[in-house]
Amino acid sequence: MRAKLLRYTAIAIVSTSLVSACQTTNKYGYDYSADRCKVQRDNLLEQQDYFADDLIKGVLVGAAAGAALGALTAWATGGDAGTGAAIGAASGAVTGASAAYFNYVQKQSGNQSELLSTILLDMESDAERLARTQQALDALIACRTAEKNAIQADFDAGLIDAATARSRMATLNTKLNEDLRVARDINKNVSSRQANFEVAASQVGALPGRRPASSQASQPAVQVSAANQPKQEEIGRTYTTLEKRSVAVENSVSELATLQQETTEFGGFSTSWLSSPGLSEVAAAPACMPCSATAN
């Protein structure tokens, strides 16, 4: 019995060690620590974290504060507290799917100047992050392209055989799948944030003659004073910058998707780039070999 217990304990320890050794590979589908484009991808992951953050932290808190103020006002004037709370929560709200940010900032701002300054600073922050995202995507695409070309060059020079080339291309495809997932997640969040900024810019009159389809308000909610017009104009210019940079990021995501597709075929790897005759008959290497020493 004691011998069996020791044997089972030894098996459990070995199994746990193997699982631990494979954790990095299992998470990404390849050994991320050995990724030749790790620095470039880490830069992109940093931007993913930024755009994944909620644009309006505490919207419900702001609504609750408005409701409390409405209730307090009703109590002080002898009115109905329930009705007062409802008015306080909804006062000045702009309707529409992407109006939450503007409504939140409007509630939290003490005056018109503060409202415009907050919107402008938030938009400038996103514009700067979009520039970083573009740089990260360009660098990652260049690195992955160089990796793809290196596999091709090694095969053309006879340094690796077809099976090795296929295996390396399959590993590259796995990397690109992960890259593309991150890039598309960023692009989705960028679009959502931009829609909120469009409503905000429209509601402070920074986009004359333009009403976002996502908003139901026909007129700007804020009539900007002459003193605040410079900020209003800067919001308009910054939004234009946001639009241009968002389009550029979207185009880079499409370029990354094209690169990913070039390394993809029926088995999860490309064969079209293997130009030598008869190579289509060579058995394809598995797309992912956890814990194996796959070339990068």
Per-residue pLDDT tens for 19-50? Answer: 444 444 446 777 888 999 999 999 999 999 99
Per-residue pLDDT tens for 84-134? Answer: 333 333 345 788 778 999 999 999 999 999 999 999 999 999 999 999 999
- Spans of all domains in the chain: 35-55+97-281
In whole angstroms, give the CA distance from residue 245 to residue 171. 31
52 band by pLDDT with thresholds 50, 70 and 90:
very high
In whole angstroms, give the CA distance from residue 20 to residue 16. 6
* Structure tokens that stand for 281 in this block: 């008959």
Per-residue pLDDT tens for 186-217? Answer: 999 999 999 999 999 999 999 987 765 555 55
User: What's the predicted TM-score (pTM) here?
Assistant: 0.71
Judged on CB neighbours under 10 Å (0-12, 13-18, 19+), 282 is: middle
Asked if residue 271 has pLDDT above 70, the reply is no
